[in-house]
Homo-oligomer: A and B are copies of this chain.
Amino acid sequence: MAASETRQSIVAAADDLFYENGFDHTSFAQVAEVVGISRGNFYYHFKTKDEILDAVIEKRLEDRRTMMSQWSSSQETPRQRVALFIRILLTNEAKIKAYGCPIGTLFTELSKLDHPGEDSARRLFDLFRIWLKRQFELMGHTRDADDLGMHILARSQGVATLANAYPNEPFLKNEVQQMLAWLEALEASGNT
A113-B22, A155-B154 in contact; A161/B162 too (CB < 8 A)?
no
At the interface, yes or no: A21 with Cβ under 8 Å from chain B?
yes
Q: Which residues of A (5-47) have their CB < 8 Å from a CB of B?
A: 20-22, 24-25
A22-B112, A111-B100 in contact; A161/B154 too (CB < 8 A)?
yes
Q: Which residue of B lies closest to A147 (CB)?
A: B174
Main secondary structure of the interface of A (DSSP, over half): helix
Most chain B CB within 10 A, of A105, A112, A147, A159, is at A112
The interface residues of chain B lying within 8 Å CB-to-CB of A112 are 20-22, 25, 99-100, 105, 109
Distance from A118 Cβ to chain B, minimum over Cβ atoms (Å): 9
Q: Which of these, B147, B162, B175, contacts A125 with CB under 8 Å? A: B162
CA distance A151 to B157 in the complex (A): 12
Most chain B CB within 10 A, of A100, A113, A161, is at A161
Q: A150-B162, A154-B161, A157-B161 are in contact. List 19 more A-B contacts (CB 8 A).
A: A20-B112, A21-B113, A22-B24, A24-B25, A25-B112, A99-B111, A100-B112, A107-B164, A107-B165, A109-B112, A111-B165, A122-B166, A147-B174, A154-B158, A154-B159, A154-B162, A154-B171, A156-B158, A161-B161
